[in-house]
Structure 1
Amino acid sequence: MDRGYPGLPDRIYNGMPAKELGTEGWRKPWSGGNGGSCVEAMKLRDGRVALRQSTDPDGPALIYTSREIETFIQGAKAGEADFLLT
């Protein structure tokens, strides 16, 4: 679980500038044919997950617990987020 990314700040909080989390470790698990605009995710050392917008990598990072992410993904797989597509 601990990726050990060097240089991460001691205090990681919701809405912090994503650039403070560095460039290493970000992934694009939800990338598609949308011209490169996608959500990027990083698993933090403490198990939380940071999300940022790929077109604004210096913008705010949204920080979620692993349970929050798990619940969201399960709900999306079950169709509970389909309303976002219409």
Structure 2
Amino acid sequence: MAKPTLQQRLVEALIASGRGAVIESRSRKYITLKRPDGKFFYVGKAGALRFGKTVSDSMAAPDDFKQRLLAEASKTS
């Protein structure tokens, strides 16, 4: 079985931690997750993680946030 991609692991970690839910999006570049506060997470094919109201207005998430998110997810699985 193939190892999950960084994109897949980030999406699963965001869902498992309750930080977002995958929604249908027009973007082909990002998987979009809606946050509880009404904003969005955008996860790119190579594992880029962004957050904001729109893709063009979004900011890159800090690397330490991504690492903590993945570490939390690996502890719970």
TM-score of Structure 1 vs Structure 2, range by shorter chain: 0.3 to 0.5
More helix by share: 2
More strand by share: 2
- Structure with bigger gyration radius: 1
TM-score, with structure 1 as normaliser = 0.35
